[in-house]
Structure 1
């Protein structure tokens, strides 16, 4: 078997199960608690690794405002919106809508970065991607029979948040001397 197929299968399983776990967790705990636990259990091993490899330096504190913006865009707002959206949608729909992250990353890069200019093929691909998101959300169905519109909006907000974080990181963090 081609290793790429195995990698994509594992990635799909891990990424997809994330929405199933958020849906299950939302029955017992609030979206804010889901965010807190995700951040905590991601932070602890990263902190241990950073301390063990001595990657943290006191001089990095001068970049704290950028770290705060990134923590809001790439973690807090993103995780909260996805946890809230996953609580309101089927986990399969939430997982599919999370596929809008590259679409919003593209739009944010185009809007916020001067050196990113789209070609005609890129714009056509973007339009097809947004058409796919629209087909998944199908907002034209009557209330109660379709996909929860509030859940879709939360997923779109989360995708937009993380998309903005990529453009922000490219503009403000890429050139810094950080490990």
Structure 2
């Protein structure tokens, strides 16, 4: 029998560190947007992370693929996992608080289960997973507010943009499973960021022009954090936790990112969220726990 993956104290520590890093990315986005444009922020993030990861690949002596098919897959993955979601999230944060953005981003796991069930026969929806998806979507509706679905203003459009980003992340996971098989995670991440850089940098220059150099330290510090910490380092940390604890345990990071972003938004930006946002997040978390199934397994084993 294959041993079940579990979270060791070290894995828990690194999972919490990853949650703090990604929770901080929402605050960094907001600080960068005070002086930089949406597309300039995204371009600087992916280009900086791309450079850092290729240096890492070179230092490790990892094999770089030469196939045109693989590089086309890197381009597609860069669009789905970086350019589209980063742009939608960053644009959405022009209007909505960082904590709310992080809560809506937590729907990625719910949408990922749904997309995988549609595309892959070995990830079909069981009754439990379907119940979890339903609870999760109920949480999304509560977070946004039912009235926002009837009257589309800038705020509701920004929230829908965050859901679009979550859907793009979900599709990226399915795309990677098919297109990037057999690659080391570090090379896959560096190649993906190369694809996103090739799109994001020209797009930023076309729409917003070359960035000025007189921006303040807060803006450039935020961009440096986004590139070096929440993208390049976070990818390396992500794959370490994946190897130690497995994909199911790693998915718990989705539940931990939002509280970090909420606290940072409140402390640094003095943001406050409506009560329905917290209620919706609780439903989202419950949906993810139902999908994961561990709580039910622990309960049944405890009752036995």
The TM-score by the shorter chain falls in which range?
A: 0.7 to 0.9
Count residues with an aligned counterpart: 175
Distance apart, 1:114 and its partner CA: 2.6
Question: TM-score, normalization: structure 2?
Answer: 0.53
Distance change in 2, residues 1:111/1:56 (3 Å): same
Alpha carbons 1:22, 1:87 under 8 Å: kept: no
2:29 maps to 1:22: yes
Alpha carbons 2:95, 2:158 under 8 Å: kept: yes
- Local SS of the residue matching 1:41: helix
2:118 maps to 1:88: no
Distance apart, 1:134 and its partner CA: 1.2
Partner deviation per Cα, 1:40-72 (whole Å, 9 max, x = no partner): 121111010112223243534441111111010
Unaligned runs of 5+ in 2: 1-8, 185-304
2-structure distance, mates of 1:29, 1:117: 43
2-structure distance, mates of 1:94, 1:82: 7
Among 172, 181, 184, the alignment partner of 1:165 is 172
Q: In angstroms, what is the RMSD of aligned CA positions? A: 2.3
2:106 maps to 1:106: no
Of residues 59-68 and 85-94 in structure 1, the stretch that sits farther from structure 2 once superposed is 59-68
Tell me the residue number matched to 2:18: 11
- Structure with larger RCO (C-alpha < 8 A, sep 6+): 2
Among 66, 72, 75, the alignment partner of 1:65 is 72
2-structure distance, mates of 1:65, 1:87: 32
- Local SS of the residue matching 1:118: coil
Distance change in 2, residues 1:62/1:140 (3 Å): closer
Partner deviation per Cα, 1:19-51 (whole Å, 9 max, x = no partner): 111112112111101110110121111010112
